[in-house]
């Protein structure tokens, strides 16, 4: 089973309801952190966790997921559809 | 002749990040990227990751930029062309199709090329390399097909990761290495021993300190003959034997090189208006106080960002304690900073209590310059901090060896 960690996002006007990190895929390349440093941080196990999934705007969150070289970050909209990776 | 404000040689993560950064700081200047591959930016690290190789993640996950991105940002991507000749005096780069680009500012972000396997019969069908996304298609096809007998040549991260994938799919793998053990010299023999035991228990055969003399077979691979005369039957050979740094073509133009392209901490080469970033860069590291080649995704991206910004007029230093990891067979291996066991460096084993785990520090004159961890990823951030803040550990080496002092506690002090 994949080791998934979910981060609900509750920001007025945002179309993103949830961000999910597949911890098995995360290799701590920290590309996401470089794009959205207010959202992401590395935890004790050297995996990326969302310290504040409500920080920053939707475009920045998606850009941070796009930057991930292992595509370990999944973004869902308010209807529950996966909007990234498409 | 075409004229661009910024010319970037190399379309990988360093070059593309540089272009992206330049565009952020200079909305008008013209930008060209020259790539000898026929693709937009993709994730090289994904090429050896199990879910992608086995098709459990969509193939298209590999793409990090689409063609439209280049158009939207007014970045011209020359695909499938190689930079052949640099003239620093004329500020031109000649491409493999004869076209000449004139630049105002140039970034050398060529990355590395795969080392070709120079063995008799190495042109037979069934031999696959792994450096580019086009190479990867060959290995993916093998991994997704019926189990075969594979000979793996090379014993670093990518070999380790691919072996895990193949073994999980029922392939029989024989590993032939020049080295004494996997990851030498990036890890110590005692750290690797439990990892290798797991491989052997999974059915992997390891042949050490050995080389292949000839590939056997007709048009397709049927086996290999080692230099000691032994023969191993196989249908597939994966020579994942590292990379070469293409520096000669810039050397001829007067750019100072060593193993890589020399740069200061601002990623400036010795030639005005030429910067370098990514895997071919050998730049001054003000944390480690030496010139280093990083050769990993994380550093290449940050170097691209710093070089790009500096090309638009800033003068920022590249400063990063670099780390990378490799996963396989239930092990998570981490390398932080400069882990080369060079003469004059002390290797300190830090005892970890957990089974199948280990940690070592590489120490120079009482200062930690690098560290390796097996199944203790939580120690990597402590090691990073000790390196970055140049914490003096000379007086505590014995305690570290005995484990009577906590590395994380050391990381949280300025001095001990």
Q: What is the pLDDT of residues B199-247, one digit of tens each?
A: 999 999 999 999 999 999 999 999 999 999 999 999 999 999 999 999 9
pLDDT at B378: 83
For B277-304, write each residue's pLDDT tens digit: 999 999 999 888 889 999 899 899 999 9
pLDDT digits (tens, 9 = 90+) for B174-195: 999 999 999 999 999 999 999 9
Task: Show the tokens assigned to B410.
Answer: 């050391």
- Position A2 confidence tier, pLDDT thresholds 50, 70, 90: confident
Superfamily of domain B330-411: FAD/NAD-linked reductase, C-terminal dimerisation domain (3.30.390.30)
Within 8 A by CB and 6+ apart from B267, the residues are B275, B276, B277, B281, B283, B303, B306, B307, B310, B318
The larger pLDDT score, comparing residue B415 to residue B243, is at B243
pLDDT for the residue A34: 82
Mean pLDDT of B36-57: 95
pLDDT > 90 fraction of chain B, expressed in percent and rounded: 91
3-state secondary structure of A14: coil
Please determine, for residue A23, whether its predicted confidence score (pLDDT) is greater than 90: yes
Report CB contact under 8 Å: A70, B43: yes
3-state secondary structure of B285: strand
**What's the gap in Å between the CA of A51 and the closest CA on chain B?**
17
A16 — pLDDT class (breaks 50, 70, 90): very high
CATH class of B133-243: alpha beta
For residue B296, give Cα distances in angstroms to A6, B61, B219, B300.
28, 20, 36, 6
Burial of B22 (0-12, 13-18, 19+ CB in 10 A): buried
Q: Determine, for residues B323 and A45 on separate chains, whether the beta-carbon distance falls below 8 Å.
A: no
Residue B259 in tokens: 């193993």
| Among the ranges given (B147-156, B202-211, B351-360, B376-385), the one the predictor scored with the smallest mean pLDDT | B376-385
What pLDDT shows up at residue B142? 97
The residue behind tokens 């396989």 is: B328
- Give how far A8 is from chain B: nearest CA, Å: 23
Which of A75, A41, A73, A44 shows the shortest CA–CA distance to A58? A75
Helix B157-168 to helix B133-144 angle (10° resolution) is 30
pLDDT given for residue B416 in this prediction = 45
Distances from the Cα of B211 to the Cαs of B225, B226, B228, B279, B286, in angstroms? 9, 6, 8, 27, 39
For CA atoms B258, B263, B267, B268, the dihedral sign is negative
- Given this model, what pLDDT does residue B322 score? 86
Residue A50 tokens, joined: 């969302």
DSSP lists the bridge partners of residue B82 as: none
Confidence check: pLDDT of A61 > 60: yes
For residue A74, pLDDT beyond 60: yes
**For chain B, what percent of residues have pLDDT higher than 70?**
99
Nearest-angstrom CA–CA distance, B53 and B63:
14
DSSP-derived 3-state class of residue A28: coil
Given a cut of 90, whether residue B72 has pLDDT beyond it is yes
Are the beta carbons of B377 and A46 separated by less than 8 Å? yes
Q: Quick check: pTM over 0.90?
A: yes
Mean pLDDT of A21-26: 92
Average pLDDT estimate for B32-59: 95
Whether B414 shows a pLDDT value over 70: the answer reads no
Within 8 A of B61 by CB-CB distance, chain A residues are 71, 85
DSSP B76-129: EEETT--EEEEETTTTEEEETTS-EEEEEEEEE----EEPP---BTTTSBTB--
Plot region of B28 (φ>0 → left; ψ -120 to 50 → alpha; else → beta): alpha
Task: Give the largest Cα separation in chain B, rounded.
Answer: 67
Q: How far apart are CA B128 and CA B178, in angstroms?
A: 19
Instruction: Name the residue with higher pLDDT: B286 or B264.
Output: B264
Tokens of B271: 């030639």
Res. B344 pLDDT band, cuts 50 70 90: very high
The pairing of beta strand B2-9 with beta strand B31-34: parallel
CA distance B299 to chain A (A): 9
**Domain range B2-43+63-112+245-311, CATH class:** alpha beta
Architecture of domain A4-72: 2-Layer Sandwich (3.30)
pLDDT of B415: 52
- Every domain of chain B with CATH number 3.50.50.60 lies at 2-43+63-112+245-311, 133-243
User: Can you give the pLDDT at residue B377?
Assistant: 85
Average pLDDT, rounded, for chain B: 95
Confidence at residue A1, expressed as pLDDT on a 0 to 100 scale: 64
Q: Which of B21, B41, B43, B299 should one mutate to test binding to chain A, selecting the residue with the greatest count of A CBs within 10 A?
A: B43
Residue B289's nearest CA partner among B314, B315, B321, B313 is B321
Question: What tokens appear for A52 in the block?
Answer: 């504040």
* Beta-carbon contacts of residue B370 (< 8 Å; ≥ 6 apart): B335, B336, B337, B338, B339, B340, B361, B362, B383, B387
pLDDT (mean) for B106-135: 97
Hey, is B135 helix, strand or coil? helix
List CB contacts of B127: < 8 A, sequence separation 6 or more.
B117, B215, B221, B236, B237, B238, B239
Q: Which residues of B touch A (CB under 8 A)?
A: 13, 43-46, 49, 51, 57-58, 60-61, 64, 297-298, 301-302, 305, 323-325, 327, 332, 334, 377-378, 380-381
């Amino acid at each position: 089973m994949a080791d998934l960690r979910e981060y609900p996002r509750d920001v007025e006007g945002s179309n993103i309801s949830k961000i999910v990190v597949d911890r098995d895929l995360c290799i701590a390349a920290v590309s996401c952190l470089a794009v959205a440093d207010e959202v992401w941080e590395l935890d004790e196990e050297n995996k990326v966790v969302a310290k504040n999934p409500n920080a920053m705007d939707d475009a920045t969150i998606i850009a941070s997921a796009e930057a991930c070289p292992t595509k370990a970050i999944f973004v869902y909209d308010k209807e529950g559809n996966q909007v990234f990776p498409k | 002749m075409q004229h661009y404000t910024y010319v970037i040689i190399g379309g990988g993560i360093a070059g593309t990040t540089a272009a992206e950064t330049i565009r952020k700081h200079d909305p008008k200047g013209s930008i060209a990227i020259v790539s000898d591959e026929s693709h937009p930016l993709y994730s090289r690290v994904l090429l050896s990751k199990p879910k992608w190789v086995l098709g459990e993640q969509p193939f298209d996950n590999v793409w990090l930029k689409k063609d439209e991105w280049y158009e939207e940002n007014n970045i011209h991507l020359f695909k499938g062309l190689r930079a052949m000749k640099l003239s620093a005096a004329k500020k031109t780069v000649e491409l493999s199709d004869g076209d000449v680009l004139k630049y105002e500012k140039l970034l050398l972000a060529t990355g590395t090329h795969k080392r070709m396997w120079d063995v008799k019969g190495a042109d037979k069908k069934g031999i696959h390399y792994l450096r580019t996304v086009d190479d990867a298609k060959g290995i993916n096809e093998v991994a997704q097909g019926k189990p075969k007998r594979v000979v793996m040549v090379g014993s670093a991260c990518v070999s380790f990761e691919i072996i895990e994938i193949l073994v999980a799919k029922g392939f029989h793998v024989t590993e032939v290495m020049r080295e004494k053990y996997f990851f030498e010299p990036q890890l110590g023999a005692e750290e690797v021993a439990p990892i290798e035991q797991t491989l052997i228990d999974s059915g992997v055969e390891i042949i050490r300190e050995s080389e292949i003399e000839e590939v056997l077979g007709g048009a397709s691979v049927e086996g290999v003959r080692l230099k000691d005369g032994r023969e191993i039957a196989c249908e597939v050979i994966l020579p994942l034997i590292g990379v070469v740094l293409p520096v000669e073509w810039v050397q001829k133009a007067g750019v100072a090189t060593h193993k890589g392209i020399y740069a200061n901490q601002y990623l400036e080469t010795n030639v005005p208006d030429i910067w370098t970033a990514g895997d071919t860069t050998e730049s001054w590291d003000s944390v480690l106080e030496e010139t280093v080649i990083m050769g990993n995704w994380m550093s290449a991206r940050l170097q691209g960002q710093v070089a790009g910004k500096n090309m638009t007029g800033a003068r920022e230093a590249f400063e990063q304690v670099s780390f990378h990891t490799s996963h396989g067979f239930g092990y998570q291996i981490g390398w932080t900073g400069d882990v080369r066991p060079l003469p004059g460096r002390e290797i300190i084993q830090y005892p970890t209590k957990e089974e199948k785990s280990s940690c070592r520090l590489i120490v120079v004159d009482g200062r930690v310059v690098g560290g390796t961890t097996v199944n203790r990823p939580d120690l990597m951030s402590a090691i990073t901090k000790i390196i970055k803040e140049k914490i003096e550990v000379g007086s505590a080496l014995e305690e570290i060896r005995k484990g009577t002092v906590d590395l994380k506690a050391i990381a949280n002090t300025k001095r001990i």
